[in-house]
Homo-oligomer: A and B are copies of this chain.
Protein backbone atom coordinates (compact mmCIF):
# COMPACT_ATOMS: atom_id res chain seq x y z
CA UNK A 1 0.00 0.00 0.00
CA UNK A 2 1.31 3.44 -0.97
CA UNK A 3 -0.10 6.91 -0.90
CA UNK A 4 0.13 9.45 -3.70
CA UNK A 5 -1.07 13.03 -3.68
CA UNK A 6 -3.26 13.92 -6.61
CA UNK A 7 -3.97 17.45 -7.76
CA UNK A 8 -6.44 18.60 -10.40
CA UNK A 9 -6.28 22.03 -11.98
CA UNK A 10 -9.84 23.03 -12.74
CA UNK A 11 -8.92 25.81 -15.16
CA UNK A 12 -11.04 28.25 -17.16
CA UNK A 13 -9.30 28.60 -20.52
CA UNK A 14 -10.36 30.91 -23.35
CA UNK A 15 -10.53 29.27 -26.75
CA UNK A 16 -7.48 30.20 -28.78
CA UNK A 17 -5.69 32.00 -25.97
CA UNK A 18 -2.71 29.64 -26.00
CA UNK A 19 -0.51 32.12 -24.16
CA UNK A 20 -3.02 32.90 -21.41
CA UNK A 21 -4.17 29.32 -20.95
CA UNK A 22 -0.60 28.07 -20.73
CA UNK A 23 0.24 30.73 -18.17
CA UNK A 24 -2.72 29.62 -16.02
CA UNK A 25 -1.56 25.99 -16.25
CA UNK A 26 1.98 26.90 -15.23
CA UNK A 27 0.76 28.98 -12.28
CA UNK A 28 -1.28 25.98 -11.20
CA UNK A 29 1.76 23.69 -11.51
CA UNK A 30 3.70 26.02 -9.25
CA UNK A 31 0.98 26.15 -6.64
CA UNK A 32 0.57 22.36 -6.72
CA UNK A 33 4.30 21.87 -6.29
CA UNK A 34 4.26 23.98 -3.15
CA UNK A 35 1.52 21.72 -1.86
CA UNK A 36 3.45 18.51 -2.47
CA UNK A 37 1.37 17.16 -5.33
CA UNK A 38 2.76 14.08 -7.09
CA UNK A 39 0.37 13.77 -10.00
CA UNK A 40 -1.32 16.88 -11.39
CA UNK A 41 -3.96 16.83 -14.09
CA UNK A 42 -5.58 19.41 -16.36
CA UNK A 43 -8.79 19.06 -18.37
CA UNK A 44 -9.36 18.03 -21.97
CA UNK A 45 -7.99 20.64 -24.39
CA UNK A 46 -6.88 22.77 -21.43
CA UNK A 47 -4.21 24.40 -23.59
CA UNK A 48 -6.49 25.39 -26.47
CA UNK A 49 -9.86 25.77 -24.74
CA UNK A 50 -12.87 23.74 -25.83
CA UNK A 51 -14.17 23.68 -28.55
CA UNK A 52 -11.67 25.35 -30.91
CA UNK A 53 -13.85 24.57 -33.95
CA UNK A 54 -12.33 25.83 -37.23
CA UNK A 55 -9.17 27.04 -35.51
CA UNK A 56 -8.30 23.35 -35.72
CA UNK A 57 -8.07 23.64 -39.49
CA UNK A 58 -5.25 26.18 -39.21
CA UNK A 59 -1.86 24.42 -39.27
CA UNK A 60 -0.41 27.45 -37.49
CA UNK A 61 -2.78 26.92 -34.57
CA UNK A 62 -1.64 23.32 -34.19
CA UNK A 63 2.01 24.39 -34.35
CA UNK A 64 1.61 27.04 -31.68
CA UNK A 65 -0.22 24.53 -29.47
CA UNK A 66 2.83 22.25 -29.57
CA UNK A 67 5.00 25.19 -28.48
CA UNK A 68 2.70 25.79 -25.52
CA UNK A 69 2.92 22.13 -24.56
CA UNK A 70 6.73 22.30 -24.74
CA UNK A 71 6.63 25.24 -22.34
CA UNK A 72 4.49 23.25 -19.88
CA UNK A 73 6.85 20.27 -20.14
CA UNK A 74 9.69 22.64 -19.28
CA UNK A 75 7.89 23.81 -16.12
CA UNK A 76 6.69 20.41 -14.91
CA UNK A 77 9.82 19.73 -12.77
CA UNK A 78 9.49 16.52 -10.74
CA UNK A 79 5.72 16.22 -10.88
CA UNK A 80 3.81 13.93 -13.21
CA UNK A 81 1.52 16.19 -15.23
CA UNK A 82 -1.36 15.14 -17.48
CA UNK A 83 -2.68 17.91 -19.71
CA UNK A 84 -5.14 18.08 -22.58
CA UNK A 85 -3.93 19.49 -25.91
CA UNK A 86 -4.28 19.02 -29.66
CA UNK A 87 -1.75 16.62 -31.11
CA UNK A 88 -0.88 17.11 -34.75
CA UNK A 89 0.51 14.35 -36.93
CA UNK A 90 2.78 15.04 -39.90
CA UNK A 91 0.09 14.08 -42.39
CA UNK A 92 -2.33 16.75 -41.20
CA UNK A 93 -4.36 14.42 -38.94
CA UNK A 94 -5.04 15.88 -35.54
CA UNK A 95 -6.10 14.28 -32.27
CA UNK A 96 -7.88 15.38 -29.13
CA UNK A 97 -5.00 14.33 -26.88
CA UNK A 98 -3.58 14.20 -23.36
CA UNK A 99 0.13 14.54 -22.75
CA UNK A 100 1.71 12.55 -19.91
CA UNK A 101 4.72 14.54 -18.71
CA UNK A 102 7.33 13.16 -16.28
CA UNK A 103 10.56 14.79 -15.18
CA UNK A 104 10.49 17.46 -17.86
CA UNK A 105 9.95 14.87 -20.59
CA UNK A 106 6.94 13.98 -22.67
CA UNK A 107 6.49 10.38 -21.48
CA UNK A 108 3.46 9.55 -23.57
CA UNK A 109 0.45 10.83 -25.47
CA UNK A 110 -3.08 9.48 -25.34
CA UNK A 111 -5.47 10.07 -28.26
CA UNK A 112 -9.19 10.31 -27.55
CA UNK A 113 -10.96 7.29 -28.99
CA UNK A 114 -14.64 8.07 -28.76
CA UNK A 115 -15.39 11.31 -30.59
CA UNK A 116 -18.94 12.53 -30.03
CA UNK A 117 -20.73 14.08 -33.00
CA UNK A 118 -24.22 15.02 -31.89
CA UNK A 119 -25.89 17.86 -30.03
CA UNK A 120 -23.26 20.47 -29.23
CA UNK A 121 -20.44 18.07 -30.13
CA UNK A 122 -18.74 18.12 -33.49
CA UNK A 123 -15.52 16.27 -32.74
CA UNK A 124 -15.55 13.96 -35.74
CA UNK A 125 -15.54 17.01 -38.03
CA UNK A 126 -12.02 17.78 -36.89
CA UNK A 127 -10.32 14.95 -35.03
CA UNK A 128 -9.14 11.50 -35.97
CA UNK A 129 -9.97 8.84 -33.41
CA UNK A 130 -7.18 7.28 -31.38
CA UNK A 131 -6.79 3.59 -30.68
CA UNK A 132 -5.03 1.86 -27.82
CA UNK A 133 -5.13 2.83 -24.20
CA UNK A 134 -1.88 1.96 -22.41
CA UNK A 135 -1.26 2.05 -18.67
CA UNK A 136 1.70 4.18 -17.74
CA UNK A 137 3.67 2.45 -15.03
CA UNK A 138 5.08 5.36 -13.10
CA UNK A 139 7.28 4.36 -10.17
CA UNK A 140 5.36 1.10 -10.09
CA UNK A 141 1.93 2.72 -9.99
CA UNK A 142 -0.29 1.93 -12.96
CA UNK A 143 -1.82 5.18 -14.22
CA UNK A 144 -4.24 5.11 -17.12
CA UNK A 145 -5.45 8.19 -18.96
CA UNK A 146 -8.73 8.54 -20.83
CA UNK A 147 -10.43 11.57 -22.34
CA UNK A 148 -14.08 12.50 -22.01
CA UNK A 149 -16.55 9.70 -22.70
CA UNK A 150 -13.84 7.19 -23.60
CA UNK A 151 -14.22 5.50 -20.23
CA UNK A 152 -17.92 4.90 -20.80
CA UNK A 153 -17.37 3.43 -24.23
CA UNK A 154 -17.35 -0.19 -25.26
CA UNK A 155 -13.78 -0.25 -26.59
CA UNK A 156 -12.27 -3.51 -25.19
CA UNK A 157 -8.82 -1.89 -24.77
CA UNK A 158 -10.32 0.70 -22.45
CA UNK A 159 -12.23 -1.86 -20.40
CA UNK A 160 -9.04 -3.84 -19.83
CA UNK A 161 -7.08 -0.72 -18.98
CA UNK A 162 -9.68 0.44 -16.46
CA UNK A 163 -9.68 -2.94 -14.77
CA UNK A 164 -5.89 -3.15 -14.46
CA UNK A 165 -4.93 0.45 -13.66
CA UNK A 166 -4.55 1.68 -10.10
CA UNK A 167 -5.34 5.29 -10.93
CA UNK A 168 -7.55 6.30 -13.83
CA UNK A 169 -7.19 9.90 -14.91
CA UNK A 170 -10.23 11.08 -16.86
CA UNK A 171 -9.70 14.55 -18.29
CA UNK A 172 -12.77 16.02 -19.83
CA UNK A 173 -14.59 19.10 -21.17
CA UNK A 174 -18.14 18.18 -20.39
CA UNK A 175 -20.73 20.89 -21.08
CA UNK A 176 -23.20 21.51 -18.30
CA UNK A 177 -26.89 20.98 -18.58
CA UNK A 178 -29.38 20.78 -15.79
CA UNK A 179 -29.05 17.62 -13.66
CA UNK A 180 -26.16 16.03 -15.54
CA UNK A 181 -23.68 16.34 -12.66
CA UNK A 182 -25.41 13.77 -10.48
CA UNK A 183 -25.56 11.11 -13.19
CA UNK A 184 -21.84 11.52 -13.92
CA UNK A 185 -21.04 11.03 -10.24
CA UNK A 186 -23.11 7.87 -10.02
CA UNK A 187 -21.47 6.44 -13.11
CA UNK A 188 -17.93 7.18 -11.93
CA UNK A 189 -18.52 5.83 -8.43
CA UNK A 190 -19.88 2.58 -9.87
CA UNK A 191 -16.91 2.33 -12.21
CA UNK A 192 -14.38 2.85 -9.40
CA UNK A 193 -16.01 0.11 -7.30
CA UNK A 194 -16.40 -2.33 -10.17
CA UNK A 195 -12.75 -2.06 -11.18
CA UNK A 196 -11.27 -1.22 -7.81
CA UNK A 197 -9.59 1.76 -9.44
CA UNK A 198 -9.16 5.28 -8.07
CA UNK A 199 -10.52 7.90 -10.46
CA UNK A 200 -9.41 11.47 -10.96
CA UNK A 201 -12.14 13.11 -13.04
CA UNK A 202 -10.97 16.56 -14.11
CA UNK A 203 -13.50 18.75 -15.87
CA UNK A 204 -13.11 22.23 -17.33
CA UNK A 205 -14.82 25.23 -15.82
CA UNK A 206 -16.03 28.39 -17.53
CA UNK A 207 -18.22 29.77 -20.24
CA UNK A 208 -17.35 29.53 -23.92
CA UNK A 209 -19.96 31.14 -26.18
CA UNK A 210 -23.07 29.00 -25.59
CA UNK A 211 -21.42 26.31 -23.48
CA UNK A 212 -20.89 26.26 -19.74
CA UNK A 213 -18.42 23.92 -18.08
CA UNK A 214 -19.30 23.49 -14.44
CA UNK A 215 -16.07 22.11 -13.05
CA UNK A 216 -17.29 19.75 -10.31
CA UNK A 217 -14.20 17.64 -10.78
CA UNK A 218 -14.03 14.53 -8.61
CA UNK A 219 -11.46 12.39 -6.87
CA UNK A 220 -12.92 8.98 -6.10
CA UNK A 221 -11.21 6.23 -4.12
CA UNK A 222 -11.00 2.67 -5.42
CA UNK A 223 -13.74 1.87 -2.94
CA UNK A 224 -16.07 4.35 -4.62
CA UNK A 225 -15.87 7.07 -2.00
CA UNK A 226 -15.86 10.66 -3.21
CA UNK A 227 -12.73 11.98 -1.58
CA UNK A 228 -12.80 15.47 -3.07
CA UNK A 229 -15.13 17.50 -5.21
CA UNK A 230 -14.09 20.60 -7.12
CA UNK A 231 -15.98 23.86 -6.87
CA UNK A 232 -19.02 24.25 -9.10
CA UNK A 233 -18.78 27.04 -11.70
CA UNK A 234 -15.44 28.30 -10.34
CA UNK A 235 -11.76 27.76 -10.89
CA UNK A 236 -10.20 25.39 -8.36
CA UNK A 237 -7.13 23.37 -7.49
CA UNK A 238 -8.39 20.13 -5.96
CA UNK A 239 -6.00 18.02 -3.93
CA UNK A 240 -6.40 14.68 -2.20
CA UNK A 241 -4.24 11.76 -1.09
CA UNK A 242 -5.08 8.39 -2.55
CA UNK A 243 -4.06 4.99 -1.30
CA UNK A 244 -2.87 2.68 -4.01
CA UNK A 245 -2.79 -1.10 -3.72
CA UNK A 246 -0.78 -3.51 -5.83
CA UNK A 247 -2.42 -4.82 -8.98
CA UNK A 248 -1.20 -7.15 -11.64
CA UNK A 249 -0.40 -5.23 -14.82
CA UNK A 250 -0.38 -7.28 -18.03
CA UNK A 251 2.61 -6.43 -20.16
CA UNK A 252 0.32 -5.91 -23.13
CA UNK A 253 -1.08 -2.64 -21.91
CA UNK A 254 1.83 -1.26 -19.94
CA UNK A 255 4.05 1.57 -21.01
CA UNK A 256 6.81 1.93 -18.43
CA UNK A 257 7.91 5.45 -17.62
CA UNK A 258 11.28 6.02 -16.03
CA UNK A 259 10.03 8.17 -13.23
CA UNK A 260 9.38 7.68 -9.55
CA UNK A 261 6.78 9.11 -7.29
CA UNK A 262 8.82 10.51 -4.40
CA UNK A 263 8.48 8.68 -1.10
CA UNK A 264 5.61 10.30 0.76
CA UNK A 265 7.03 11.77 3.90
CA UNK A 266 4.42 14.51 3.95
CA UNK A 267 1.46 14.18 6.31
CA UNK A 268 -1.79 12.85 4.87
CA UNK A 269 -4.36 15.38 3.70
CA UNK A 270 -7.88 14.96 4.87
CA UNK A 271 -10.28 16.51 2.43
CA UNK A 272 -14.02 16.84 2.82
CA UNK A 273 -16.00 16.96 -0.39
CA UNK A 274 -17.98 20.15 -0.90
CA UNK A 275 -21.74 20.28 -0.84
CA UNK A 276 -23.50 20.58 -4.16
CA UNK A 277 -25.95 23.30 -5.15
CA UNK A 278 -29.57 22.40 -5.84
CA UNK A 279 -30.87 22.45 -9.42
CA UNK A 280 -32.12 26.00 -9.58
CA UNK A 281 -29.03 27.21 -7.73
CA UNK A 282 -26.85 25.47 -10.31
CA UNK A 283 -28.73 27.06 -13.19
CA UNK A 284 -28.44 30.52 -11.67
CA UNK A 285 -24.70 30.08 -11.18
CA UNK A 286 -24.36 28.77 -14.74
CA UNK A 287 -26.03 31.92 -16.05
CA UNK A 288 -23.78 34.16 -13.98
CA UNK A 289 -20.62 32.35 -15.06
CA UNK A 290 -21.70 32.23 -18.70
CA UNK A 291 -22.44 35.95 -18.73
CA UNK A 292 -19.23 36.90 -16.95
CA UNK A 293 -17.03 34.76 -19.19
CA UNK A 294 -18.67 35.92 -22.42
CA UNK A 295 -18.34 39.56 -21.49
CA UNK A 296 -14.81 39.38 -20.08
CA UNK A 297 -13.32 36.94 -22.57
CA UNK A 298 -14.57 39.16 -25.38
CA UNK A 299 -12.85 42.15 -23.88
CA UNK A 300 -15.84 44.12 -22.59
CA UNK A 301 -16.02 45.93 -19.26
CA UNK A 302 -19.62 47.06 -19.10
CA UNK A 303 -23.00 45.87 -20.31
CA UNK A 304 -26.22 47.71 -21.09
CA UNK A 305 -29.68 46.25 -20.63
CA UNK A 306 -33.09 47.55 -21.66
CA UNK A 307 -35.14 47.46 -18.45
CA UNK A 308 -38.84 47.10 -19.24
CA UNK A 309 -40.04 46.50 -15.71
CA UNK A 310 -40.77 42.88 -16.68
CA UNK A 311 -39.30 39.77 -15.13
CA UNK A 312 -36.93 38.87 -17.99
CA UNK A 313 -34.98 42.12 -18.03
CA UNK A 314 -35.05 42.33 -14.21
CA UNK A 315 -33.48 38.87 -14.01
CA UNK A 316 -30.90 39.63 -16.70
CA UNK A 317 -29.86 42.76 -14.82
CA UNK A 318 -29.54 40.77 -11.59
CA UNK A 319 -27.43 38.11 -13.30
CA UNK A 320 -25.27 40.81 -14.87
CA UNK A 321 -24.66 42.48 -11.52
CA UNK A 322 -23.72 39.15 -9.94
CA UNK A 323 -21.41 38.47 -12.88
CA UNK A 324 -19.76 41.86 -13.34
CA UNK A 325 -20.53 44.03 -10.32
CA UNK A 326 -23.10 46.81 -10.15
CA UNK A 327 -20.63 49.40 -11.44
CA UNK A 328 -20.43 47.60 -14.77
CA UNK A 329 -24.13 47.38 -15.55
CA UNK A 330 -26.26 50.12 -17.08
CA UNK A 331 -30.06 49.87 -17.18
CA UNK A 332 -32.06 51.84 -19.73
CA UNK A 333 -35.80 52.31 -19.55
CA UNK A 334 -37.32 53.14 -22.96
CA UNK A 335 -40.99 53.75 -22.29
CA UNK A 336 -43.53 54.17 -25.09
CA UNK A 337 -47.12 55.39 -25.12
CA UNK A 338 -48.12 51.84 -24.10
CA UNK A 339 -45.80 51.45 -21.11
CA UNK A 340 -47.75 51.29 -17.85
CA UNK A 341 -46.73 53.46 -14.93
CA UNK A 342 -46.09 50.36 -12.81
CA UNK A 343 -43.63 49.06 -15.43
CA UNK A 344 -41.85 52.40 -15.41
CA UNK A 345 -41.56 52.51 -11.65
CA UNK A 346 -40.59 48.84 -11.41
CA UNK A 347 -37.71 49.25 -13.83
CA UNK A 348 -36.44 52.09 -11.70
CA UNK A 349 -36.86 50.04 -8.52
CA UNK A 350 -34.88 47.14 -9.98
CA UNK A 351 -32.07 49.52 -10.93
CA UNK A 352 -32.13 51.04 -7.46
CA UNK A 353 -32.16 47.63 -5.75
CA UNK A 354 -29.16 46.56 -7.81
CA UNK A 355 -27.36 49.86 -7.43
CA UNK A 356 -26.80 50.27 -11.16
CA UNK A 357 -26.68 53.33 -13.38
CA UNK A 358 -30.16 54.02 -14.76
CA UNK A 359 -31.19 56.04 -17.80
CA UNK A 360 -34.56 56.84 -19.30
CA UNK A 361 -35.05 57.45 -23.04
CA UNK A 362 -38.71 57.74 -24.06
CA UNK A 363 -39.14 56.40 -27.60
CA UNK A 364 -42.20 58.40 -28.59
CA UNK A 365 -40.25 60.86 -30.75
CA UNK A 366 -38.73 58.19 -32.95
CA UNK A 367 -41.96 56.16 -33.02
CA UNK A 368 -43.86 59.21 -34.20
CA UNK A 369 -41.33 59.91 -36.94
CA UNK A 370 -41.49 56.34 -38.28
CA UNK A 371 -45.29 56.48 -38.38
CA UNK A 372 -45.09 59.78 -40.22
CA UNK A 373 -42.48 58.51 -42.71
CA UNK A 374 -44.60 55.45 -43.43
CA UNK A 375 -48.02 57.11 -43.29
CA UNK A 376 -48.39 57.43 -47.04
CA UNK A 377 -47.39 53.82 -47.77
CA UNK A 378 -49.40 52.45 -44.87
CA UNK A 379 -52.58 54.28 -45.72
CA UNK A 380 -55.31 51.74 -45.36
CA UNK A 381 -54.09 48.85 -43.22
CA UNK A 382 -54.89 49.24 -39.53
CA UNK A 383 -52.04 49.39 -37.00
CA UNK A 384 -50.91 45.94 -35.89
CA UNK A 385 -47.80 43.83 -35.51
CA UNK A 386 -45.84 46.19 -37.77
CA UNK A 387 -46.29 49.11 -35.39
CA UNK A 388 -45.49 46.85 -32.42
CA UNK A 389 -42.25 45.72 -34.01
CA UNK A 390 -41.24 49.28 -34.88
CA UNK A 391 -41.24 50.13 -31.17
CA UNK A 392 -39.19 47.07 -30.26
CA UNK A 393 -36.69 47.91 -33.02
CA UNK A 394 -36.36 51.52 -31.91
CA UNK A 395 -35.27 50.13 -28.55
CA UNK A 396 -32.82 47.80 -30.26
CA UNK A 397 -31.37 50.75 -32.18
CA UNK A 398 -31.02 52.86 -29.06
CA UNK A 399 -29.24 50.12 -27.12
CA UNK A 400 -26.86 49.57 -30.03
CA UNK A 401 -26.25 53.31 -30.32
CA UNK A 402 -25.20 53.29 -26.64
CA UNK A 403 -23.10 50.22 -27.30
CA UNK A 404 -21.40 51.85 -30.28
CA UNK A 405 -20.80 55.11 -28.45
CA UNK A 406 -19.59 53.81 -25.10
CA UNK A 407 -18.31 50.31 -25.89
CA UNK A 408 -20.90 48.54 -23.75
CA UNK A 409 -22.05 45.04 -24.69
CA UNK A 410 -25.83 44.80 -25.13
CA UNK A 411 -27.45 41.94 -23.19
CA UNK A 412 -30.74 40.97 -24.81
CA UNK A 413 -33.53 39.77 -22.55
CA UNK A 414 -35.52 37.32 -24.65
CA UNK A 415 -36.10 33.82 -23.25
CA UNK A 416 -36.49 30.33 -24.67
CA UNK A 417 -40.30 30.28 -24.66
CA UNK A 418 -40.29 33.41 -26.82
CA UNK A 419 -37.53 32.13 -29.13
CA UNK A 420 -39.37 28.82 -29.53
CA UNK A 421 -42.62 30.39 -30.61
CA UNK A 422 -41.23 33.46 -32.39
CA UNK A 423 -42.94 35.73 -29.87
CA UNK A 424 -40.05 38.16 -30.08
CA UNK A 425 -38.90 40.87 -32.49
CA UNK A 426 -35.91 40.32 -34.74
CA UNK A 427 -33.55 43.32 -34.27
CA UNK A 428 -35.91 44.44 -31.48
CA UNK A 429 -35.90 42.67 -28.12
CA UNK A 430 -33.66 40.06 -29.78
CA UNK A 431 -31.02 42.74 -30.46
CA UNK A 432 -27.94 42.08 -28.40
CA UNK A 433 -24.45 40.71 -28.31
CA UNK A 434 -25.45 37.97 -25.87
CA UNK A 435 -28.72 36.48 -24.60
CA UNK A 436 -28.31 35.13 -21.06
CA UNK A 437 -31.83 33.61 -20.92
CA UNK A 438 -31.76 32.20 -24.46
CA UNK A 439 -32.22 28.63 -23.20
CA UNK A 440 -34.37 29.45 -20.14
CA UNK A 441 -38.13 28.84 -20.45
CA UNK A 442 -40.37 31.56 -19.05
CA UNK A 443 -41.61 29.50 -16.10
CA UNK A 444 -37.98 28.95 -15.09
CA UNK A 445 -37.34 32.71 -15.42
CA UNK A 446 -39.86 33.17 -12.60
CA UNK A 447 -38.27 30.39 -10.53
CA UNK A 448 -34.82 31.91 -10.95
CA UNK A 449 -36.07 35.34 -9.92
CA UNK A 450 -37.68 33.87 -6.81
CA UNK A 451 -34.52 31.89 -6.06
CA UNK A 452 -32.40 35.03 -6.27
CA UNK A 453 -34.75 36.96 -3.97
CA UNK A 454 -34.75 34.04 -1.56
CA UNK A 455 -30.94 33.89 -1.52
CA UNK A 456 -30.76 37.62 -0.89
CA UNK A 457 -33.51 37.42 1.75
CA UNK A 458 -35.03 40.53 0.20
CA UNK A 459 -36.96 41.70 -2.86
CA UNK A 460 -34.15 42.33 -5.33
CA UNK A 461 -36.73 41.76 -8.05
CA UNK A 462 -39.91 43.40 -6.75
CA UNK A 463 -42.94 41.20 -6.10
CA UNK A 464 -44.94 43.54 -8.32
CA UNK A 465 -42.73 42.41 -11.23
CA UNK A 466 -43.27 38.77 -10.36
CA UNK A 467 -46.99 39.25 -9.89
CA UNK A 468 -47.83 41.12 -13.10
CA UNK A 469 -49.16 39.10 -16.05
CA UNK A 470 -46.45 38.96 -18.75
CA UNK A 471 -46.92 41.59 -21.47
CA UNK A 472 -44.80 43.02 -24.26
CA UNK A 473 -46.61 46.37 -23.80
CA UNK A 474 -46.46 47.13 -27.51
CA UNK A 475 -50.16 47.96 -27.77
CA UNK A 476 -52.87 48.90 -25.30
CA UNK A 477 -53.80 46.21 -22.74
CA UNK A 478 -51.63 43.59 -24.42
CA UNK A 479 -51.01 40.28 -22.64
CA UNK A 480 -48.73 37.42 -23.76
CA UNK A 481 -51.75 35.13 -23.39
CA UNK A 482 -53.50 37.03 -26.21
CA UNK A 483 -51.09 35.21 -28.52
CA UNK A 484 -49.66 32.27 -26.61
CA UNK A 485 -51.10 29.62 -24.27
CA UNK A 486 -50.29 30.31 -20.60
CA UNK A 487 -46.60 29.57 -19.94
CA UNK A 488 -47.43 26.76 -17.47
CA UNK A 489 -49.05 24.97 -20.40
CA UNK A 490 -46.68 26.16 -23.13
CA UNK A 491 -43.35 25.27 -21.50
CA UNK A 492 -43.95 21.54 -21.00
CA UNK A 493 -45.22 21.25 -24.59
CA UNK A 494 -42.10 23.02 -25.82
CA UNK A 495 -39.85 20.75 -23.79
CA UNK A 496 -41.53 17.64 -25.19
CA UNK A 497 -41.35 18.90 -28.77
CA UNK A 498 -37.98 20.68 -28.86
CA UNK A 499 -35.87 18.82 -26.31
CA UNK A 500 -37.40 15.33 -26.29
CA UNK A 501 -38.37 14.99 -30.00
CA UNK A 502 -41.81 13.68 -29.12
CA UNK A 503 -44.30 13.62 -31.97
CA UNK A 504 -47.37 15.82 -31.84
CA UNK A 505 -49.48 12.71 -31.32
CA UNK A 506 -47.35 11.62 -28.38
CA UNK A 507 -47.63 15.04 -26.75
CA UNK A 508 -51.38 15.01 -27.19
CA UNK A 509 -51.29 11.54 -25.66
CA UNK A 510 -49.86 13.09 -22.51
CA UNK A 511 -53.08 14.97 -22.01
CA UNK A 512 -52.50 18.28 -23.79
CA UNK A 513 -55.21 19.73 -25.97
CA UNK A 514 -54.65 18.75 -29.60
CA UNK A 515 -55.32 22.19 -31.04
CA UNK A 516 -52.82 23.80 -28.68
CA UNK A 517 -50.10 21.23 -29.34
CA UNK A 518 -50.42 21.54 -33.11
CA UNK A 519 -50.37 25.33 -32.92
CA UNK A 520 -47.28 25.34 -30.70
CA UNK A 521 -45.42 22.82 -32.88
CA UNK A 522 -46.13 24.87 -36.01
CA UNK A 523 -44.92 28.04 -34.28
CA UNK A 524 -41.66 26.29 -33.39
CA UNK A 525 -41.17 25.03 -36.94
CA UNK A 526 -42.00 28.32 -38.62
CA UNK A 527 -39.81 30.56 -36.52
CA UNK A 528 -36.45 28.99 -37.19
CA UNK A 529 -35.59 32.00 -39.39
CA UNK A 530 -35.71 34.28 -36.35
CA UNK A 531 -33.63 31.97 -34.20
CA UNK A 532 -31.03 31.72 -36.98
CA UNK A 533 -30.28 35.41 -36.49
CA UNK A 534 -30.15 35.30 -32.69
CA UNK A 535 -27.03 36.18 -30.73
CA UNK A 536 -25.34 33.44 -28.69
CA UNK A 537 -26.77 32.60 -25.28
CA UNK A 538 -26.18 30.14 -22.49
CA UNK A 539 -27.16 26.50 -22.89
CA UNK A 540 -28.65 25.02 -19.73
CA UNK A 541 -31.09 22.37 -21.00
CA UNK A 542 -30.44 19.10 -22.76
CA UNK A 543 -31.07 20.80 -26.09
CA UNK A 544 -30.69 24.47 -26.90
CA UNK A 545 -31.42 26.19 -30.18
CA UNK A 546 -28.34 26.71 -32.29
CA UNK A 547 -25.54 24.28 -32.91
CA UNK A 548 -27.34 21.41 -31.22
CA UNK A 549 -30.66 21.73 -33.03
CA UNK A 550 -30.18 22.69 -36.63
CA UNK A 551 -33.56 22.81 -38.25
CA UNK A 552 -33.56 23.86 -41.90
CA UNK A 553 -35.20 27.28 -42.34
CA UNK A 554 -36.66 26.06 -45.61
CA UNK A 555 -38.71 23.18 -44.26
CA UNK A 556 -42.19 22.04 -45.13
CA UNK A 557 -42.44 18.99 -42.92
CA UNK A 558 -45.81 18.65 -41.29
CA UNK A 559 -46.49 15.76 -39.01
CA UNK A 560 -49.55 13.74 -39.89
CA UNK A 561 -51.70 13.85 -36.79
CA UNK A 562 -54.49 11.31 -36.90
CA UNK A 563 -56.01 11.91 -33.52
CA UNK A 564 -58.37 14.69 -34.53
Contact surface of A with B, Cβ cutoff 8 Å: 14-18, 20, 49, 51-55, 57-61, 64, 117-118, 122, 124-125, 207-209, 293-294, 297-298, 359, 361-363, 365-366, 368-370, 372-374, 377-378, 381, 385-386, 389-390, 393-394, 396-398, 400-402, 404-405, 426-427, 431, 433, 501, 503-505, 529, 532-536, 547, 549-560
Contacts and interface: CB of A to CB of B under 8 A. Distances in A.
A51 to B, nearest CB: 7
Nearest to A18: B557
Contacts of A558: 16
Contact of A16 (B60, B61, B556): B556
A326 to B, nearest CB: 19
B118 A555 contact: no
A34 B66 CA distance: 65
Contacts of A532: 535-536
B401 A554 contact: no
B373 A57 contact: no
A431 B389 CA distance: 14
A59 B497 CA distance: 12
Contacts of A16: 552, 555-558
A427 B404 CA distance: 13
A247 B407 CA distance: 73
Nearest to A116: B125
A552 B400 contact: no
A359 B372 contact: no
Given A54-B551, A61-B557, A401 B386 contact: yes
B393 A373 contact: no
Contacts of A393: 393, 396-397, 400, 427
Contacts of A361: 373-374, 377
Contacts of A556: 14-17, 20, 297
B59 A503 contact: yes
A48 B373 CA distance: 45
A501 B57 contact: yes
A138 to B, nearest CB: 33
Given A385-B404, A397-B427, A533-B533, 15 more contacts: A14-B554, A15-B554, A16-B557, A18-B557, A52-B557, A58-B559, A60-B559, A122-B125, A361-B377, A365-B373, A366-B373, A368-B369, A394-B397, A427-B431, A533-B535
B389 A401 contact: yes
A27 to B, nearest CB: 17
A359 B501 CA distance: 45
B552 A52 contact: yes
A116 B209 CA distance: 26
A512 to B, nearest CB: 16
Nearest to A386: B404
A55 B536 contact: no
A171 to B, nearest CB: 20
12 contacts: A60-B504, A207-B554, A298-B554, A363-B373, A368-B369, A370-B398, A370-B401, A377-B402, A378-B405, A393-B397, A393-B427, A427-B427
**Among the interface residues A359, A426, A554, which one has the most CB atoms of the partner chain B within 10 A?**
A554
A552 B365 contact: no
Contacts of A390: 397, 401
A398 B374 contact: yes
A22 to B, nearest CB: 12
A366 B363 contact: no
B389 A404 contact: yes
Nearest to A126: B118
A293 B554 contact: yes
B554 A209 contact: yes
A396 to B, nearest CB: 6
Nearest to A20: B556
A354 B50 CA distance: 50
A389 B400 contact: yes
Given A58-B503, A555-B15, A557-B18, A427 B398 contact: no
Contacts of A359: 377
Contacts of A368: 369
